[in-house]
Amino acid sequence: MTVTTTPRPFPLNRYRVQAILGRVAVHAVLSLVGLTCLIPLILVVSISLSDEIRLAKEGYQLLPVGLTTFAYEYILQEPGQILRSYAVTAFVTAAGTIAGLLVCSLLAWPLARKDFRLRGPLSFYVFFTLLFNGGMVPFYILVTRYLGLKDNIFILILPYLVTAWYVLIIRTSFSQLPTELLDAARIDGAGEWRIFFQIVVPLSKPVLATIGLFFVLRYWNDWFLALLFIDDSSMYPLQYLLYVLMANINIMAANPQTTGMPIPTLSARMAMAVLAFGPALFTFLLLQKYFVRGITIGGLKG
Amino acid sequence: MINKKQLDGQASPSPKPRHSKQPASTPERFLHRLFGNERELKTNLSLLSMSLPGIVLLFIFAYLPMLGIVIAFKDYRFNLGILGSEWVGFQNFRFLFGTDAAFRITRNTLLMNLLFISTTTVCALTVAILMNEAYRSRLSKYYQTMLFFPYFISWVIVSYFVFAFLNGQTGMINRWIDALNLDRIAWYRSPEYWPAILVLANLWNGIGFSSIIYLAGILGISPELFEAAKIDGAGKLQQIRYVTLPMLYPMIIILALLAIGRIFHADFGLFFFLPRDNPLLYSTTDVIDTFVYRSLVELGEISMAAAAGFYQSFVGFLLVVGANWVVRRVNEDYALY
């Protein structure tokens, strides 16, 4: 886009035309890429709203064929397993986020304190886990054989509570707190625990909110721990339930409850997926700007 | 990327402990030696007690598995446990590297990760530059949402999306192929297409995240540089070529290096759920992580899994340390430690 002629005092000179064309091109490319990203979402929602018989005949289409909510009605007729899985995921997410925030920030605060004598060794202890890990095999054996936490709901929570990366971000934020305030509290005779809960935590709400959201996302979307350690279907979290349904496609067709009705396996499977990600995705999108802030501080400057 | 100073715990000056009172018993004297006078001791013990839950959890879920890595050198028997099982030296490794699988999973892990790193860097950078041009527009918010939402969707759900596209009978792509009067493709039986499918899925999932990081980098460039370029007669493309990209180079290199440090670790969910653990696709989709999982949980070949896991942890560690060493030479502020 080299400018070869000198700009003339006309409102529509060559330079301006190029600028406008450039801006149009930018918007065109961005909306094209953005809409392409949306296609999978549209496809799955359309399938879930399609008529089963026409789906089998016409295949999956980007727009619903024979608009119907039958698949949803079918699933919600017998919502036992979905509700259970929702409850498991909700419990794990809530408990994990609260406990994780507590443990991580309690660990981050001493690491932010210059007068803590064990700061160096403890920093190493925490951050070495970012560099090296034992991998899946010893972890699996430890949990199943030595801790005996197989098919225990707490195994879905405990391993993620301390995440070195989150500790690091919280610590950076803590170390930027004004020391005058803390000194003043200390002179007034406040103990370390009191200073933490009454001064440090309230002053650090933004970073704790961001890390809290990362915890929510992590627990809500987790299938890994369930894949390794949960066999009891009453403890399936949502994501793992979806995996099981995908792996055993016939599980739905085998449901004897709907004799005489066409069993909507094609659309019901996608309806299941929509029910699983819909509400969470909506919530996360509402809170998007906090995630963006977290990525920016986490990605750029620790 | 973490500022080096943040991790540098030792830097704090430790003033000589001032003993206000001579401690009596030996353990007490030790505590005072470690933590200083009465007041400092109290502070330090409070801080230590705060970090205790975290220390214990890390010990159980991070450090015990690190020690447990020795099972790669043992013939693990469930009834004997890790300590009781017999040492077998490098036998598990000879067993692992005697199979074709060892080469296959190493190649797939490295090549796929290289493809992921290069495609994500190029595409995210392009998107970030475009987003920067559209930054003042009201539409930019919508672009960001459309690009970012896949980040919130787990690989399990993505496997439903991919299934909707590629399923042999009813999948959308095969119906399009029908419409063009071509032969249908059995996607779930044709390993040759999967590198491309996985690259697209990975790009779709990660482009929003990465472009946000690059956009933040671009917004951090001093506007004076662009002003100066404009006065010198640079058009938009020249500004990108001569200002934006050179200013982003350190960041691009460092993010790529850190990703290369993780190149021995594949994204398990992506490689496990999307190809639906299909043996027909293993030649292009089996990576170290899926191999370890399958050997461990599905096949019960614990020795094999442990050897592959050790191989991954060990080489992965060397790569992280190496990458970090290079990053530190490029720019100390961005090094992991």
Asked if B127 reaches chain A (Cβ–Cβ under 8 Å), the answer is yes
> How distant is the Cα of B192 from the closest Cα of chain A, in angstroms?
22
Find the domain containing A167 and state its range: 79-247
d(CA B292, CA A228): 12
Asked if the structure places residue A83 within a domain, the reply is yes
The nearest CA of chain B is from the CA of A175 a distance in Å of 9
Cα–Cα nearest to A202, from A182, A229, A223: A182
Asked if the structure places residue A177 within a domain, the reply is yes
CB B17 within 8 A of CB B32: yes
Q: Which contacts (CB < 8 Å, 24+ apart) does range B48-53 have?
A: B48/A110, B48/A118, B50/A106, B50/A107, B50/A109, B50/A110, B50/A192, B50/A193, B50/A196, B51/A106, B51/A107, B51/A109, B51/A110, B51/A111, B51/A122, B53/A102, B53/A103, B53/A106, B53/A107
In this structure, are A49 and A156 located in the same domain? no
Q: Are residues A114 and A35 in the same domain?
A: no
What is the per-residue pLDDT for B256? 87
pLDDT at A241 over 80: yes
Q: Are residues A89 and A214 in the same domain?
A: yes
The pLDDT mean for chain B works out to 85
Within 8 A of A193 by CB-CB distance, chain B residues are 46, 50
Q: Is residue A222 part of a domain?
A: yes
pLDDT confidence bin for B136, thresholds 50/70/90: confident
H helix or E strand, kind and range, residue B250: helix B245-261
- Say which range, A202-216, B27-41, B104-118, has the weakest mean pLDDT: B27-41
- Closest-CA distance, B135 to chain A, in angstroms, reads 11
Helices A288-301 and A205-220, packing angle to 10 deg: 100
Q: Which two tokens stand for residue B335?
A: 């090094």
Whole-angstrom distance, CA of residue B241 vs CA of residue B226:
11
Check whether residue A65 and residue A115 sit in a common domain. Answer: no
Q: Which of A3, A4, A31, A37 to mutate to test the interface with B (most CBs of B within 10 A)?
A: A37
Amino acid at B237: L
The pLDDT value recorded for residue B75 is 85
Would you tell me the crossing angle of helices A164-174 and A288-301 to the nearest 10 degrees?
Answer: 90
Contact residues on chain B for A236, CB-CB shorter than 8 A: none
Residue A252 in domain: no
Q: Determine, yes or no, domain membership for A272.
A: no
Task: Find out whether A232 and A152 touch, Cβ atoms under 8 Å.
Answer: no
Assess contact for B238 and B246: CB atoms under 8 A. Answer: no
Chain A residue with Cα closest to B320: A131
Residues of A in contact with B238 (CB under 8 A): 1-2
B152 and A280 within 8 Å at the Cβ level: the answer is yes
Q: How far apart are CA A252 and CA B238, in angstroms?
A: 58
Average pLDDT over residues B67-71: 89
Which of the listed residues A198, A232, A247 is the one where a domain comes to its end? Answer: A247
Q: A53 pLDDT band (50/70/90 cuts)?
A: confident
* pLDDT of res. A54: 80
Q: How many domains does chain A have?
A: 2
Average pLDDT of the residues in A58-67: 82
Q: Which residue of B has its CA nearest to A217?
A: B152
Q: Is B84 left (phi over 0), alpha (psi -120 to 50) or beta?
A: alpha
Let me know if residue A3 belongs to a domain.
Answer: no
pLDDT at B105 over 90: yes
Which conformational region is residue A82 in: left (phi greater than 0), alpha (psi within -120 to 50 degrees), or beta? alpha
- Of A153-162, A231-240, B215-224, B227-236, which has the strongest mean pLDDT? A153-162
Query: Do A99 and A63 lie in a common domain?
Result: no
Where is average pLDDT lowest: A89-93, B256-260, B279-283?
B256-260
Give the mean pLDDT of B267-274.
Answer: 93
Q: Is residue A298 part of a domain?
A: no
Are residues A96 and A134 located together in one domain of the fold?
A: yes
Domain boundary among A202, A224, A247: A247
Task: For residue B282, give how far its alpha carbon lies from the nearest alpha carbon of chain A (Å).
Answer: 17
- Picking from A70, A97, A113, the residue at the C-terminal end of a domain is A70
User: Phi then psi for B2, rounded to 5 degrees?
Assistant: -125, 140
B139 to A3: CB separation less than 8 angstroms, yes or no: no
Question: Taking 60 as the threshold, does the pLDDT of residue B296 lie above it?
Answer: yes
CB contact (8 A) between residue A59 and residue B53:
no
Strand partners, B87: B74
pLDDT at B66 exceeding the cut of 50: yes
Q: If you measure CA to CA, which chain B residue comes closest to A296? A: B213
Of B196, B327, B329, which is closest to residue B262 (Cα–Cα)? B327
pLDDT, tens digit, 9 for 90 and up, residues B272-284:
999 988 889 899 9
CB contact under 8 A, A136 and B133: no
Residues A233 and A118 in one domain: yes
Of B54, B153, B312, the CB nearest to A104: B54
**What CATH number has the domain bearing residue A103?**
1.10.3720.10
What's the mean pLDDT in A139-157?
92
Using DSSP's 3-state secondary structure scheme, residue A41 falls into: helix
Q: What is the pLDDT of residue B337?
A: 67
- Residue A281 belongs to a domain: no
- Predicted confidence at residue B11, as pLDDT, reads 43
Same domain, A128 and A61: no
Please tell me the least confidently modeled range out of A238-242, A292-296, B196-200. A292-296
- From the list B48, B160, B216, the residue facing A296 with the nearest CB is B216
Q: What is the pLDDT of residue A258?
A: 44
**pLDDT per residue as tens digits for the range A63-77:** 888 888 888 888 888
Q: Let me know: does B321 contact B258? Beta carbons within 8 Å.
A: no
pLDDT confidence bin for A10, thresholds 50/70/90 = low
Is residue B131 over pLDDT 80?
A: yes
Chain B, window 10-69: residues with a beta carbon less than 8 angstroms from a chain A beta carbon: 10, 12, 14, 34-36, 40, 43-44, 46-48, 50-51, 53-55, 57-58, 60-69
Calpha distance B314→B309 (Å, rounded) = 8
Based on the fold, state whether residues A89 and A152 are members of the same structural domain.
Answer: yes
Distance from CA of A258 to the nearest CA of B (A): 23
> Would you say residue B121 has pLDDT above 90?
yes
Query: How confident is the model over A213-219, as a mean pLDDT?
Result: 93
State whether the Cα torsion B198-B204-B208-B214 is positive or negative: positive
- Is B273:B295 a contact under the CB 8 Å cutoff? no
Q: If contacts are CB pairs under 8 Å, which of residues 202-231 in chain B contact chain A?
A: 204, 207-209, 212-213, 216-217, 220
Residue B165 DSSP class:
H
Do A207 and A170 fall into the same domain?
Answer: yes
8 A C-beta contact, residue A45 and residue A63:
no
The token pair at B79 is: 């009834």
Examine the pLDDT at A291 and tell me if it is beyond 90.
no
Asked if residue B309 has pLDDT above 80, the reply is yes
Q: SS3 for B75?
A: strand
Q: Are residues A179 and A228 in the same domain?
A: yes
Distance CA A31, CA A22 (A): 14
Is A300 a residue whose pLDDT tops 80?
A: no
Burial class (CB in 10 A: 0-12, 13-18, 19+), A60: buried
Q: Does B161 touch chain A (CB under 8 A)?
A: yes
Q: Are residues A111 and A179 in the same domain?
A: yes
- Examine the pLDDT at A23 and tell me if it is beyond 60: yes
Which tens digit of pLDDT belongs to each residue from A249-289? 555 544 545 444 455 677 888 888 898 888 888 888 888 88
Q: How far, in Å, CA of A100 to CA of A109, rounded?
A: 14
Report yes or no: B186 at the A interface, CB cutoff 8 Å.
no
Percent of chain B with pLDDT over 90: 37
Whole-number pLDDT of residue A259? 42
Domains of chain B, CATH where assigned: 22-77 (no CATH), 93-334 (1.10.3720.10)
Q: Can you tell me whether residue A30 is helix, strand or coil? A: helix
Closest CA to B131 of A299, A19, A296, A30: A30
Q: Which residues contact B156 (CB under 8 A, 6 or more apart)?
A: A223, A239, A240, A242, A243, A246, B269, B273
Helix A205-220 to helix A80-112 angle (10° resolution) is 140
pLDDT at B41: 85
Name the residue among A189, A191, A175 with its Cα closest to residue A114. A175
- What confidence score (pLDDT) does residue A268 get? 83
If you average pLDDT over residues B33-50, what whole number do you get?
A: 84
Instruction: Examine the predicted complex and report whether its ipTM is higher than 0.95.
Output: no
Tell me which residue of B82, B39, B42 sits closest to B64, measured CA to CA. Answer: B82
In the prediction, which pLDDT does A62 show?
84
Banded model confidence at residue B4, pLDDT cuts 50, 70, 90: very low
Across the interface, which of A111, A119, A137 has its CB nearest the CB of B296? A137
- Amino acid A114 reads K
Which pLDDT score is estimated for A249? 59
The identity of residue A232, as a single letter, is: D
Nearest CA in chain B to A269: B160
pLDDT at A15 over 80: no
CB–CB of A239 and B157 under 8 A? yes
CB contact under 8 A, B170 and A59: yes
Q: Decide if A19 and B306 are in contact by the 8 Å CB cutoff.
A: no
